[in-house]
Structure 1
Amino acid sequence: MDRRSILGAAAIAGLALTTEDVTAQPRATQREVYELRSYRLVNGPMRERLDTYLRDAFIPAARRAGSGPVGVCTVTIGPDAPSLYVLVPHPTIADFVAMPGRLTSDAAYLRAAASFLRATPADPPYASLEIKLMQAFPHLPRMEVPGQSARIFELRTYHSHAETAGATKIDMFDTGGELDIFRRTGLAPVFFAQDLTGVRLPSLTYMLTFPDMPTRERAWRTFGSDPAWKKLIATPGLTDPEITTGIDNRILSPTPYSQI
């Protein structure tokens, strides 16, 4: 699915793609759009070639185009290894759609990406590429970029059975107090977003960051025993069986050149 098809599918689904969202809001408070690229790889030279392309060609060009900072992570725990996850924040959906044209008009990008772009079917640059498009929550409209010290990320997607249930789960995080409990118990957000595209919509996706796995485990235990959380999750209409059908979870590690 190309970018315009992704945008069209999201618009048909009625998922927060209003003119006001795209153009009218002040840039400082506008809800970012997140492009999550999942490059599936095969063991061998693919990883080094993709690393070189992302580090030397794509990321510098994306920044020149006004998007970023760009995060690049490997899967430490999850079903997709070997693969690279590339997270690209865009100021608006229009910037996401415009990115391919900006790349093809960027002479420095074309020079740096030449060998990657000339890959043949006999020696492909990756096994497959999937792109998911997300829009930041209203009360967390911009990514919170963590420091560059040793860290891991947790990427979680919550699925719901219907649009009303998905909207309720988003509100539970965004205005219902769950995100505040996250922060208080050590679950530090990078972003929270509504999924605009995907195979199991409706859904939401968020990313957390931790210094290491022991810190992550302690934070989740603290969260699980928090009185405010226990009260919230027991509220009629907000229980897991009523509004969620499943959770996908991955632990990611940033590459040395990741900007996130």
Structure 2
Amino acid sequence: MSPLAAILLIAAGLSLAMAGAWLTAERSGNHGWVDTVWSFATGAGGVAACLLPTGPGWPPRRIVVAALIALWALRLGGHILQRTLRGHDDPRYAELRREWGPHASRRLFVFLQIQALASLVLVLAVMAAAHNPAPSWRWGDGLGVVLALAAVAGEAVADRQLARFRADPARRGQVCDIGLWGLTRHPNYFFEWLGWLAYPAIAISVTGTHPWGFAAFLAPLLIYVLLVHVSGIPPTEAHMLRSRGTAFRDYQRRVNAFWPGPPGRQRSSRT
């Protein structure tokens, strides 16, 4: 199979998956299915990009990269799936539907097809890493594995810390600022971005034998723009300001939005 044929096949699969996500969200009224399907579909596309016979690539590296993207998808998709099965709707999509009014269904379908296109960019980064033709392990491979595992672990820890905070009745009405959430307002987003740096590390060849490996930089660049400026921080913080008001504004003053750093001195976060 040629690389172009593989890319077109994966693109079609991603488009169909997000059409299915749209249909499921429309019928159930729960938009948590959108990110659940997106995570699993992106992971499946990445695994296919690694393992389909599309050209050169050292088999052990292809297997390792496939394992990394599969681990990411299972961790993130599984986390969102658990939340979705409990009936938790995603407030970002709920707000979009309110803004779009009578055209919400059609515009959501188009929006999810754009997400399929974003998934394809990420899959291409994974593909570039998997098909690096270097015939042995390099320092970049080790760095990529460390980045990917650290990102998965960090995001899992952040999710657990937030879940424990929300489960404590004594903290009702407060903003989570414990653990990693005291270093950045969005540690889950930061670690998500960090994980996509693994693929440029694996893909890039300083000897020039794999020039298209530099295309893997598109993944962390895209993820950063989406999380920080488009579909991550802006709608999430708008929702938190509506639901937590003064407490969240206080949190914004004390803690960086994305890059981890020491928290400010003021510690009150009650409404």
| Shorter-chain TM-score tier | under 0.3
Q: Give the number of the structure whose residues are more often helix, by fraction.
A: 2
Structure of higher RCO (CA pairs closer than 8 Å, 6+ residues apart): 1
What TM-score comes out, normalization by structure 2 length? 0.27
The structure that is strand-richer by fraction is: 1
